[in-house]
Amino acid sequence: MTLQSLCLYRYQIPLDKLLPVGIQRIDTREGLVLHASTAEMQAEVEIAPLSGVDIDGNPILGFSRESLEQVIDELELLLPKLEGVPLDALLDAAETTKLPSLAFGLSLLHAKLNGQLPVCRNNPGLVPLIYRNQDEDKAALQNRIDALSLDTHTVKVKVGQTSLEDEVQLIHHILAVRPALKIRLDANRAFTLTQAIDFCACLPLDAIDYIEEPCQNPSENPDLFEAVGIHYALDETLHDPNYQFVMQAGLRALVLKPMLVGHLSRLQSLIDTAIDAGVKTIISSSLEASLGIAALQAIAAECTPNEMPGLDTLGAFSCDLLLSSGKQRCLMLDELNLIKSVG
């Protein structure tokens, strides 16, 4: 198959409520849509590095190392070279680029055009994400917890965001309402080792599946496990392009954000290596719009079929992108900002 045409678009979607990016908050999501066609089919992918600035104008830290502008600059140079060449040129470009979000997008586009990533027809379910919205009172948060579906068996709770007392109380309230729930905690490296020990010592550990990135210094995560017995997961650690899997005491899961991990082959390699070591692999979002979330659902169904992905972030979006998730409005290509077109 040969690439016949490629178009690059930019989107900007306001959020109905703030979304947490670590301890920061964002009120808008920006990204790109890359559309490509061959004689046989066409496909679109979302490329959206998790970077930019937060609501206070501060740079987002700890996630994508590349900016959206860097991705645009590289694609503007790349697209003319892809017109009229074999489809596998997408993989060559994905292996060459040093920008993880672009490597992911190009390798995903190749998979879609090759029919290697079928549309996910079955909803894999969601692990509800629980965090306290800005200026939200405790009663409103508790009402959301009380309204959790009976089909929900696992929830993810952001911690390291407010006071230790409030967050411990929140976890105990969740379990008072639904005692059988398993809880995944996400700390985004918020704690020193001492703080993490103090926090985890107050928790009912048999209800905690794991805590993501508990310590500011990740090398201290095994020390937390030794001190308290709580298992942990790696997330931000995996964003280092030089990361190589090494089994550690207490490691229970890798939380994989494909937009930050990069090429699909690297994602699959991490999944295979972790599973061989008895470590769970969880596909998670980088706050993509509906087009990107649909791709992550398909990747999760294909690569981690036994694990429920962490994709409960679309609720904050004011509209969908190309693929409807049920919102009143869905942006289509002709409503986006066309940056470059070839073919």
DSSP helix/strand/coil, 193: helix
Task: Please name the amino acid found at residue 260.
Answer: L
Residue with tokens 């996910």: 120
Annotated active-site residue in 112, 158, 327, 340? 158
Contact 15, 2 (CB under 8 A): no
For residue 215, what are the contacts with CB-CB under 8 A and spacing of at least 6? Answer: 189, 191, 192, 193, 196, 221, 223, 224
User: What is the C-alpha separation between 190 and 220, in angstroms, rounded?
Assistant: 13
User: What is the C-alpha separation between 9 and 45, in angstroms, rounded?
Assistant: 10
C-alpha distances (whole Å) from 217 to each of 83, 150, 223, 293, 304 are 46, 37, 11, 30, 28
The dihedral built from the CA positions of residue 64, 263, 303 and 330, taken in this order, carries a sign that is positive
Chain centre to alpha carbon of residue 320: 17
User: How many angstroms separate the first and last alpha carbons of the chain?
Assistant: 15
Return the closest-CA partner of residue 260 out of 35, 33, 99: 99
Neighbouring C-beta atoms of residue 261, cutoff 10 Å: 24
Residue 257 is among the residues annotated as catalytic for this protein: yes
| Structure tokens given for 301 | 């169904």
Rama region for 3: left / alpha / beta (φ>0; ψ in -120 to 50; rest): beta
| Structure tokens given for 78 | 């790349």
Residue 340 is among the residues annotated as catalytic for this protein: no
Q: Is 275 exposed, middle or buried (0-12, 13-18, 19+ CB in 10 A)?
A: middle
Annotated active-site residue in 257, 280, 327, 340? 257
Residues annotated catalytic, as ranges: 158, 257
